[in-house]
Amino acid sequence: SFQESSYIEDSPNKNGVISLIFSLKEEVGALAKVLRTFEEKGINLTHIESRPSRLNKDEYEFFINLEGKNVPALDKIIKSLRSDIGATVHELSRTKKKDTVPWFPRSIQELDRFANQILSYGAELDADHPGFKDPLYRARRKEFADIAYNYRHGQPIPRVTYTEEEKKTWGTVFRELKTLYPTHACYEHNHVFPLLEKYCGYREDNIPQLEDISNFLQSCTGFRLRPVAGLLSSRDFLAGLAFRVFHSTQYIRHASKPMYTPEPDICHELLGHVPLFADPSFAQFSQEIGLASLGAPDDFIEKLATVYWFTVEFGLCKEGDALKAYGAGLLSSFGELQYCLSSKPEIQPLVLEKTSLQKYPVTEFQPVYYVAESFKDAKDKLRKFAETIPRPFSVRYNPYTQRIEVLDNAKQLKNLADTINSKELQICYLEFLK
């Protein structure tokens, strides 16, 4: 059944052996201190290898195998290595039970399994929705929902003929926001926006088509759009990002309130999200959130969704001495884009351990915003945060096969190492040619 196939072990870990990779700064006694910690906790090491770190010339990497008999003690050791010694730790394998890992898609085609499992809206509207009492708007929403329900991966996204009223609503939002972008939006957004106008039909009198935008994004960063009828669960939505797939609505907000929407609509998706997905660094950050979510426990999904909220949706970043907006919720809201850079809200540095626990309102301006030093800095912090997620494997996305590879045995690690070595050789060759 669907749930029974949720996690497939490529090579069962029969002997209860746990594999770790950790890195330490090159200093006298550093490794001895780590080994003494294992000894004090009664953890028996069966194999150890070392090499200079390829990522940091001042560090060494250690690969170890150890007996997995005392799991609680091991968890404390891993926590200690990270907090007390400052080591970067990657847990590569641990004895698993299939029913302990939530299902996650392993191939991009498997996104079809949950794309229609929306939580709210779609063709149905709540009583407080501006279009609830408008039968024509509700019928129009059903048309958009049917497109999303019938879509399958690999198909061209159906083109929509938008009405004059819909284009007028889009034009109002487009015109107002475009006046703020030069002074309020981040550099990456302002760099890409003219390209969207040139190649994807971004104009005040025209609502762009998802298919054209998806093709443009694939040529920039490999991201693609997929139509969705409404809001997905956090787990399902984040899983799409792991494949560089963004689930996007096609419908537009009700014409009676062009500057307000209680849900994501095509103005939010195309004006807020799309420009940043064309930036390589931001695209990588977004995918990292998705990869971190795969197989994560429910409480960590909630934390990752909160991180997503305060970065991808409502994030601020530094540009010199100024703050700029990169979150889609800000870049698609005329009012909040001005408010977030005023003196009214609280501004905090992006610290994911704190940010992931922050409560937030969904129907009013945010009382607090978090500032990233850069997309690279945010990505590095996210990777360290992902190391704390208790799942018995690591994952990587293979862009050639469009599949998620679960790294939990020696064969898979060797294949990964071969891939990394091949890329290093290519980089060295290019450096040689300069």
Binding residues for Fe cation: 268, 273, 313
Sequence-separated (6 or more) residues with CB below 8 Å from residue 263: 120, 121, 129, 230, 231, 249
Whether 273 is catalytic: yes
Does residue 268 have an active-site annotation? yes
Pick the catalytic residue from 93, 188, 268, 288: 268
Q: How many angstroms separate the Cα of 200 from the Cα of each of 253, 267, 327?
A: 21, 14, 21
**Dist. CA 386–CA 395, nearest whole Å:** 11
Annotated active-site residue 59? The verdict is no
- Residue with token string 């009492």: 133
Which of 332, 333, 356, 394 is the catalytic position? 332
Catalytic residue (choose from 129, 184, 189, 273):
273
User: For this structure, is 313 an active site residue?
Assistant: yes
Report the distance separating Cα 147 and Cα 158, nearest Å.
7
Binding residues: 268, 273, 313
Helix axes 298-308, 280-293, angle to 10 degrees: 160
Q: Which residues are catalytic?
A: 268, 273, 313, 332
